[in-house]
Structure 1
């Protein structure tokens, strides 16, 4: 198997490769490649014959010229911690200067972004935006030290890791710091809400998809769903949020809904009505807080949709709504 994998990697240099299937005698394997203008291609490899053929495409209508370049980057956070991430450029751009930027933090937060085609990042890049996907502290897959550095840092260093990335790209001349928005889902949705409320002066607009807005209420809901106050889910939330106990009111200061009056940018809220991970109420609570504070916002309810936007039509609607909002408040050209 090691020999097979080395042979495959040597045949597709520079691409992200995933082993999909193989024959019992290991003479034939199916792989998936992405990267470098490849939006996702399936190959059947005959190792005995030393041949390969393309057997399908993940996105057959996306030619290479429609896929933006994705670059691995690293930058220093304000406290010196190194933050790895990825920068996706608009298609055809090879020497980026003064581009508008969308910061796209991942969910989890104990997850991570990886090199390879990302339909959300590429969708935004196709409209003329550079897209930053930082693996901020608290991200998984980068070692225990990087993960545990995120404990208790919701709305604090996990948030400034994002804006530190904006400042890095601005210092490099790659982006225009006056034309930056933030977009995200789940934890990334929280980060999108926290941008204008907890880390002001960075973003022109924010789009939150299924984001958490009231941390204390979110943990209490999770405890009720689990039927116990000390469930693994509750311990997970408390560890990352920095709560000492269920109902810890210190979380209110890091809850965008409690800081809505400080929002310095318009906010778009999108949320699946049938979300069982982050309830729709989290977006409703934020909308009501923004309404009371007289801050600009839009709320879009995605009927019949779950936390992951599993339906193709909903994903397309989310992208269309997001692009419309971005182009209104941060036009790319």
Structure 2
């Protein structure tokens, strides 16, 4: 695997043999270099993540900076070609994928440090990733966005306001005060940043009613949100057309909010649809 080239090679002790390329259409597209970085959280817990640099752009403190947060959260980002960071880097963003506490693939301490820390220490780890990039003089704090799906979508909502499942998140009865304290739904009045939310009507994990709850709460408090419903989508992106359609909206949304110098594909709009996509978009507070 490689960061900039979606292809596979066989390796033994002497030779590296090319097997196949995964996407010939990307052969002449400028893609970004990915770099593994290590830093410390504010409480000293070791952290690791990946920076994907925009090609042919100086990271001099003025570049825009999305955090791309993986789902799970008991999963992790790994080194290799990553479509979303490469898409954002191609649009002149510097992208960070932090493996915050609770991520798998490191050690037991790193995994269990995320128990009952949704919206708390796990979120602070993401903010510490921002501080790492600021200290390296890559970005400034005024041009930061959060993107993600599943748990990453929750973290984006949590960032808009500052187990078993029970062991990791808290028991719904015994820890109700804790869960209310870290639930964006109970802090909708504090969500002042604009949001773009996508939802699959057939998602068995993140229910349509749950997304519509937070949209209604934000609307009730005068906030700004674009809600995009896909009637034929589940948890994730099985349809290439729907995937392209949503990321077209996301490209415009990011450029309008944080991307003063980024590139936007000509003709894209937040409320426009790609032919064949099933999206139903609703704009609140624009």
Superposition pairs of residues 237-256 of structure 1, within 5 angstroms: 237-243=165-171, 245=173, 248-256=176-184
| Equivalent in the alignment of 1:62 | 26
| Equivalent in the alignment of 2:59 | 96
| Equivalent in the alignment of 1:118 | 82
Whole-angstrom distance in 2 between the partners of 1:282 and 1:119: 27
Q: Which moved more, 1:65-74 or 1:136-145?
A: 65-74
| Equivalent in the alignment of 1:308 | 236
Whether the aligned pair in 1 keeps the contact of 2:172 and 2:179 (CA below 8 Å) is: no
Question: Which of 172, 176, 195 is the aligned partner of 2:136?
Answer: 172
Question: Which of 284, 289, 292 is the aligned partner of 2:220?
Answer: 292
Question: Which of 198, 215, 224 is the aligned partner of 1:270?
Answer: 198
Please state how far the C-alpha of 1:289 moved relative to its aligned partner: 0.6
Q: Secondary structure at the match of 1:271?
A: strand
Q: C-alpha deviations, 1:75-133, integer Å up to 9, x for none?
A: 1111111110001111234x521111001111001100011111011111111111110
Whether the aligned pair in 2 keeps the contact of 1:65 and 1:91 (CA below 8 Å) is: no
Please state how far the C-alpha of 1:152 moved relative to its aligned partner: 0.6
Superposition pairs of residues 1-333 of structure 1, within 5 angstroms: 33-35=1-3, 37-38=4-5, 40-43=6-9, 54-63=18-27, 66-93=30-57, 96-98=59-61, 99-197=63-161, 199=162, 235-243=163-171, 245=173, 248-333=176-261
Whole-angstrom distance in 2 between the partners of 1:53 and 1:241: 45
Q: Secondary structure at the match of 1:176?
A: coil
The verdict on how the C-alpha distance between 1:246 and 1:120 changes in structure 2, with shifts beyond 3 A counting, is farther
Please state how far the C-alpha of 1:254 moved relative to its aligned partner: 0.7
Whether the aligned pair in 2 keeps the contact of 1:65 and 1:92 (CA below 8 Å) is: no
The verdict on how the C-alpha distance between 1:89 and 1:64 changes in structure 2, with shifts beyond 3 A counting, is farther
Whole-angstrom distance in 2 between the partners of 1:177 and 1:52: 42
Q: Which moved more, 1:279-288 or 1:249-258?
A: 249-258
| Equivalent in the alignment of 2:270 | none
Superposition RMSD on alpha carbons, in Å? 2.0
Q: Secondary structure at the match of 1:155?
A: coil
Q: C-alpha deviations, 1:125-159, integer Å up to 9, x for none?
A: 11111111000000001011100000010010000
Q: Which has the higher strand share?
A: 1
Q: How many residues align?
A: 259
Q: Larger radius of gyration, structure 1 or 2?
A: 1
| Equivalent in the alignment of 2:284 | none
Whole-angstrom distance in 2 between the partners of 1:53 and 1:72: 25
TM-score (norm 2): 0.85
TM-score (norm 1): 0.73
